[in-house]
Structure 1
């Protein structure tokens, strides 16, 4: 997905695509469908107080997303609402029940599955190179831990009762991440050791993964995630 995609390019495919996949899954007799959403459907809400840590009961404000033209977070919110509403309907109006569970990860890091640079990877690279100097608290999780969360959501009977599961491992300042990468990868000294001044912007809202952890979910340390992320970037030639 392009970083600056238009409203039309994001909203319709997200909602329609979610609906079509759920219909096909239900028609095939699937007993449970796990939908990957985003904390973008959770935290974009001006009514959340600064410093608050929110759980799955919190939703992004659709009107606020429209007013600020945050089409990505609006698309994630609408698509997740569509998924959960479909699950409720499928469980009450048809003979075959299809549970729908949504998993909401934040910024996903970890080893790349492809040699190309996606939007998430470019964001981290821009912080490392100094192209982006925004200082903020960001929620993050390892892609391997997201995969484990999806398996738990699919296979654990108790997951259905929660419906939504936030999947976030760490909250770190951008400058802290860059400093950690510097300590873990001294070979990148030429890239990372130069004068830089971060500019404080609004922090992301904090999120709680207690519901997912209650199902047995565990996550990697930030050190392991960032070390392996950079190793994969180097192998793909992204930081060369």
Structure 2
């Protein structure tokens, strides 16, 4: 499919942490944007945040995104779709609370897109690196992960254990199954139509998404996922007695603003069509974040800077993002900028 350089883009879960930054990026680049939200009560903050763009932003209420036809009206007349919304419960007590909604909401959206394939040119689905491989433990052998890999281990675990599943395996299973279903849906429907489905598919596969908050999170109790990890690991110092967590185990992240750019670039770049793209910014250990944060506030614990030695950091998993860097060309912010801006955001919110 050709690149999408103008027109109307649908963004699902428009009031979410990453989605609000995506709205901003799209609007600033001149796109018309339609966002989906669960209730009208979620709309006021989004409208106020982007009021300077006037009628370039519209919001559509979809109370239950898992229902057949739920997205029919939302997809009418759009040129592209960025499917960002997904259940993010990382410690569920029941897999059925996470996995079926993740799959069904994706399928509902794709079925609606199928009905309007005359206008839609591209759909970009947000997946996660947990759909690539199981979470690694400190004793696992280091390995490099690329876009050809799938977290079948998490899926099999949940199928075997059901409600007795390890909660840490449920979210990875949901992301794996939802992304796989999207690719299978596209392949199946495209074959039925003799290769003339009309829209192509891209999946973006990020690690931790971190950075300042643009949406209506005002209390730390509202944090979840990676931004919750950042707050407790850096601002609250929960790893003060865990040297391995602070200075030995390495992770990867992408700044939420760079992730928003990657979303838009995946529309602009023709060669992104049909690709699964790992989008990672930088490798880190928590002590690096703490050391930078303490330049801008003295209200957080110091960690163990004397124990931090970059040469001794162990990355059980490294995600190879070479393909996305080549295709999308996103320039990633430094660790210094991400942490500084996040800490300044915390100060404004009264969290520090």
Interval containing the TM-score (normalised by the shorter chain):
0.7 to 0.9
C-alpha contact (below 8 Å) 1:90/1:98 kept by paired residues = no
For the structure 1 residues 189 and 173, does the alpha-carbon distance in structure 2 shift closer, same or farther, using more than 3 Å as the test?
A: same
- Give how far 1:51 is off: 2.7
For the structure 1 residues 189 and 166, does the alpha-carbon distance in structure 2 shift closer, same or farther, using more than 3 Å as the test?
A: same
Q: If you compute each CA radius of gyration, which structure gives the higher value, 1 or 2?
A: 2
**Where does residue 208 of structure 2 map in the other structure?**
107
Whole-angstrom CA distance in 2 between matches of 1:179 and 1:64:
40
**Where does residue 213 of structure 1 map in the other structure?**
325
- Give how far 1:201 is off: 11
Pair 1:123-2:235 in alignment: no
Let me know the Cα RMSD of the aligned residues: 2.6
Pair 1:56-2:150 in alignment: no
Deviations 1:33-67 (A, max 9, x none): 00000011113177xx7332221112112446536
For the structure 1 residues 217 and 196, does the alpha-carbon distance in structure 2 shift closer, same or farther, using more than 3 Å as the test?
A: closer
Deviations 1:151-191 (A, max 9, x none): 12122111124x200011111112222222223x1xx2132
For the structure 1 residues 18 and 202, does the alpha-carbon distance in structure 2 shift closer, same or farther, using more than 3 Å as the test?
A: farther
Q: What residue ranges of structure 2 are gaps of 5+ in the alignment?
A: 1-87
**Where does residue 198 of structure 2 map in the other structure?**
97
In terms of mean alpha carbon deviation, does 140-149 or 118-127 score higher? Answer: 118-127
Whole-angstrom CA distance in 2 between matches of 1:105 and 1:130:
25
Deviations 1:88-116 (A, max 9, x none): 12322124332111001110011202242
Whole-angstrom CA distance in 1 between matches of 2:273 and 2:332:
21
With structure 2 as the length reference, what TM-score do the two structures score? 0.60
C-alpha contact (below 8 Å) 1:38/1:76 kept by paired residues = yes
- Give how far 1:71 is off: 0.5
Whole-angstrom CA distance in 1 between matches of 2:267 and 2:214:
22
With structure 1 as the length reference, what TM-score do the two structures score? 0.86
Whole-angstrom CA distance in 1 between matches of 2:293 and 2:135:
31
- Give how far 1:143 is off: 0.7
C-alpha contact (below 8 Å) 2:143/2:316 kept by paired residues = no
Pair 1:22-2:110 in alignment: yes
Whole-angstrom CA distance in 1 between matches of 2:348 and 2:216:
9
In terms of mean alpha carbon deviation, does 227-236 or 163-172 score higher? Answer: 227-236
Whole-angstrom CA distance in 1 between matches of 2:152 and 2:144:
16
Alignment of 1:130-209 (within 5 A): 130-132=237-239, 133=242, 134-135=245-246, 136-161=249-274, 163-183=275-295, 185=296, 188-193=297-302, 203-209=315-321
Q: What residue ranges of structure 1 are gaps of 5+ in the alignment?
A: none
Pair 1:224-2:331 in alignment: no
For the structure 1 residues 118 and 45, does the alpha-carbon distance in structure 2 shift closer, same or farther, using more than 3 Å as the test?
A: closer
Whole-angstrom CA distance in 2 between matches of 1:157 and 1:13:
31
Whole-angstrom CA distance in 2 between matches of 1:19 and 1:64:
21
- Give how far 1:74 is off: 0.6
For the structure 1 residues 225 and 195, does the alpha-carbon distance in structure 2 shift closer, same or farther, using more than 3 Å as the test?
A: closer
Q: RCO (CA 8 Å, sep 6+): is it higher in 1 or 2?
A: 1
